Structure 1
Amino acid sequence: MQNNLLSAIVEKKIIESPTTVSLILKLTDSNKNLGYTAGQFTSIYINVDGKEIKRSYSMSSAPHEDYIQVSIKKVDGGNLSVYIVDKIKEGDSVKLSPPKGKFFTCSQDIPKQYILFGAGSGVAPLFSILKSILYKNKKDKVIFICSHKNKEEILFAKTLEKLIDKYKDRFKLIYTLSQCNDGQIPCTQSNVTTYSGRLNRNLIQNIFNQHLNALMEKEFYMCGPTQYMTEHIKNLLFLGVSKSRLHIESFVSDINKVGEQDNPFKLLLESNYINIKEKSVNTDSDFLIGDKNTDAGFLIGDKNSEQKETKNIIVNIDGQTHTLDYVKNKTILDVIIDSGIDAPYSCLSGACLSCLATITKGCVKQKDLGILDDSNISKKESLVCQAYPLSKSVSVSFD
């Protein structure tokens, strides 16, 4: 087990739906703090039948709240999610990794309207973001579109009702229930609307026509199952939403089950590839990041190089340094994951910033530039899911 993990106990277990629970966690060392930002996730380590199991879950609490809350949906075949939903008890011990993820950045420059799209357990990080926006920026407005199967599967319903009452001039809540056939369902709260049936392009257009503020800048956030995201990325782009305003997050286990053509991160990237090419950065397939005149050894393929292959990858993460043997033809992220290090990643295709790291020594070949821009390149930042080492030794830092 990593020695940078935080010990915590389950202070409270909340039944959110028949398949989802939230855990209120309390750190056992009162001098320590998880120190997360809205929309981030943590890896939870739990001993199950003598075997330690680790999975990553989003914080559904917000940073300004005086507790840590994570929300877990039971997944068929998911050892840890089944254990947590069915068996974990208040008072049980868990370990937490430092928070990870770059899903949300809160802008305080000008008032904005945020439109959040969430489905299933993808509502959890958006719930954190929602609370943070409403708390921190008193001029921002939020539309939260939550998609579930039925009323019983709705998450955080009571808290959302309280937020509607408290922020009625700034917060609009919309439910879509795919297995409910009652048409538009009346609600006693004026800022809550519930529709039966699946969310679709026509409904999104209708919601936009009714609730978008033409005078405010807008940011769109989306999290949910892969098929949901793929469908609605297409819908939002069709309706004129700019890629630069659309931010997405998904779950690694879900992404890994689909082909590249159904990867929502790749879809979002490629749909705006013309915009990326218009930037001044070089978009060659073998883009170099780092120091070409490196003291970490000649570049692989250099005529003066005696070393034809990379020896090691040095990884700085969560205040620790790991030296890993490099395995030929693997990306830097592949080597890190294979070693068991708990590094952040999500899309595996260069289309998100989850695995962004700084090349502090040596040089790498970025096979796919992905969504990197001039600012990233100037700071020697690499998407390590697309990076291959070009020097005898490469040092990368996630800190």
Structure 2
Amino acid sequence: MYVSVRGIPPGTRSGGRVPRVVVVLGLVSLITDVSTEMVAVVLPLFATLALGLTPVAYGLLDGLYQGATVLMRLAGGLFADRLRRPKLVAGTGYALGAAAKLMLLPVGGAGALSAAVAADRMGKGLRTAPRDQLIAAAGPHDRLGRSFGVHRALDATGALLGPLVAFGLLALAPGDFDMVFVVSFCVAVLGVLLFVHRVPEHPAAGHRVPERRTPVSLGDVTALLRTSGFRRLLVAAAVLSAATISDGFLYLVLLRNGSVETRWFPLLFLCTSLVYLALAVPLGRTSDRLGRTRVFTAGYGLLLCAYLTAVLAGGPAGALLCLMFLGAYYAATDGVLPAAAAPLLPAELTATGISIVQAAVAGGRALGAVAFGAVWTATGSDVAMWTFAAALTAALLTALPMITQARHRRTEVR
């Protein structure tokens, strides 16, 4: 069958509010992100100060943080489509992420920390594609950007509150990372309970329901990879992600350059999330009107601005500008990418297709994290930043023609 790249069949344009399930999933993500970001904001300090990891060791850990989701993202999408039980698969991922928080309590070295981080990221990988499938199936395609924008805005609210909670706990008990991990686990359990009791297994009647009755096969996945529009979007996303620096590394660069003090480190995540929250819905709506691939590409241009600001503009003002660019990058890419991919996919393979794109992005970021840590160790933070700024520029020049062609092609899914 043929699916328009814009994904807006005649007669599907509609008004109305964002579907209820999208809001509920957003609240689940909000609670889960409070838990996750409580750990994420202290992880760079915990790894480099408490455990004494070097930049290259932290780069390997950060690569694991990004890369552990790759296979699980694929597994999550395949299982969700094969079993036609996206809620079951996503719920398993949420539960695994909650359990990983308890694994952090006895951590005393890099090996144990890596195992806990891997478990947490595997949970995230498992739940992401099925969750996004539930969002994509909940409403019409002409409003996907808005639906994903609302979900990501609620998600960003959790990312906003998480650093505040961690900052408050460490202010009450400086250096007590175990307390942060215990509270994080309790919050994660609340998210799991909300997901189990308030998210339906299948979308409301009248929306995009899979008609497939046979299991997903390797041939189906191969057919997806042969469709030109989807393939171009996939390759472009992977190329861009490989030139991406993780938030933790970018914040450590700001710390190393003297733009921020150590005591304010958890609040860097807060500022990024605040900008993300403010722009997620507006940029989601903009992507519905102007084109999702255009907004997605512009997001990586904003990330390049963040890189350049980190090395050229010092002091608190420079750090604030860097964080604004970083938050805008997330708002323009995080929800827009699955919204751009979903219309290119048949309903019965939506989770699989989204998981392939997200796995490619996670794999690229993992490679980027390891490479950045190695370059930093060999040459210093400033040279590493300039190297990745040049790499991102080259990636944008490579990906832009692919995305432009993907936007104008119609795709055939057999």
Q: TM-score, normalised by structure 1?
A: 0.25
Larger radius of gyration: 1
- Larger relative helix fraction: 2
Larger RCO (CA within 8 A; separation ≥ 6):
2
Which structure's residues are more often strand, by fraction? 1
